[in-house]
Homo-oligomer: A and B are copies of this chain.
Amino acid sequence: MSTIRRAQLSEFDLIRRFFTRPVRKAVLGVGDDCALIDPRPGHHLAISTDMLVSGRHFFADVPPRALGHKALAVNLSDLAAMGAEPRAFTLALALPEADPAWLEELAAGMLALADAHGCELIGGDTTRGPLTLSLTVFGDVPPRAALRRDAARPGDDIWVSGTLGDARLALGDCRGEWLLPEPEFSRVRPRMETPSPRIALGLALRGVAHAALDISDGLIGDLGHILARSQVGALLDVDALPRSEVLASQPDALQRECVLAGGDDYELCFTAPIGHREAIAAIADRLELPLTRVGAITPEPGLRLVDGHGSPVTYAGASFDHFASP
């Protein structure tokens, strides 16, 4: 819908060249006014949208293949957190200039991840503008299987997948907040640039977990969303939070900052009844993905942090009160 005709011309070229592929599952893909999909009978359609802006969500000089991966990954992560099975996505893209080599890499990173999850590109929009990617993803989830934020219950265990904080550790190095030795930076950088959406875990947690979300803004803030919407509180064991070898070798204060407030890991945080501990252990084995019990849901509101000995932990960065307000 640009009013600049010359930009329009290259727009259609770009879409055709890099982002148009035959659809396998959709009724109609890229190239008409709308895409058409046939919803899966007996399922809700789960929908999520995320916008990534250059200089804010990624560095302008990020490798385009990594950017393509990450832009889709953070959206797929929302489907994972809902227990939804990916089906399709749309891409709106603003570009300051049309660099074919850059675009080819962007498309390659995005479409490789899309193929890995059976999630096809069905439509989009391309325009000139400050580099911005806005994706909307679609997935299927059976009624009552959706992992909603408002479903945590007192007595539930709180779990997190994988390890937390590596993306924040890498980001701090890039920003000059701290400096990691090169070998260590190389080990955490992929957690920041090419996160893995926990799709298989989300599907496995259907009927097992109560509430779930993906940790994109930091555990404290994100867990706060579950507590606020479920009208419950939580006790969180800070020492139990799983961290990588690289992060575990950092100073204590830095570790806590990264595991508690570091975003962008895109692990799942979920709650489940105590009776499901064995089932969850079996899921961890099957997926070869660590799942760690880090606390419990409490009936009284508020989030209390404790260490491994049960002593209270004060964390200045915890801005939980804000999110808990109704």
Binding site for B on A (CB under 8 A): 1-5, 7-9, 12, 27-28, 31-41, 44-57, 74, 78-79, 81-82, 84, 90-94, 122-125, 127-130, 132, 134, 136, 138-139, 141, 143, 146-150, 168, 171, 212-214, 216-218, 221, 229, 261, 263-264, 317, 319, 322-323
Copies held by the complex: 2
Residues of B within 8 A of A44 (CB): 27, 36-38
A193 to chain B, nearest CB (A): 13
Residues of B within 8 A of A129 (CB): 51, 53-56, 130, 132
Closest 10 CB pairs of A and B: A39-B39, A53-B129, A134-B134, A51-B92, A34-B46, A33-B81, A130-B130, A136-B136, A34-B82, A1-B216
Q: A171-B3, A264-B3 are in contact. Are A134 and B8 (CB under 8 A)?
A: no
Q: Across the interface, name the chain B residue whose C-beta is closest to A214.
A: B33
Contacts A8-B217, A34-B84, A55-B129 supplied; 5 other A-B pairs, CB < 8 Å: A1-B263, A7-B56, A32-B82, A51-B132, A53-B128
Residues of B within 8 A of A148 (CB): 28, 32
Q: How far is the CA of A25 from the CA of B68 in the complex (A)?
A: 33
Q: How far is the CA of A317 from the CA of B214 in the complex (A)?
A: 50
Ordered by A's residue number, 14 sampled pairs between the chains whose C-beta atoms are within 8 Å are A1-B217, A1-B263, A5-B261, A8-B221, A32-B148, A33-B82, A35-B48, A36-B46, A38-B44, A39-B45, A48-B123, A50-B125, A53-B130, A129-B132
Q: How far is the CA of A46 from the CA of B41 in the complex (A)?
A: 16
Q: Across the interface, name the chain B residue whose C-beta is closest to A1.
A: B216
CB–CB B2/A56 < 8 A = yes
CB–CB A34/B50 < 8 A = no
Q: How far is the CA of A55 from the CA of B2 in the complex (A)?
A: 11
CB–CB A90/B3 < 8 A = no
Residues of B within 8 A of A84 (CB): 34
Q: Across the interface, name the chain B residue whose C-beta is closest to A50.
A: B125
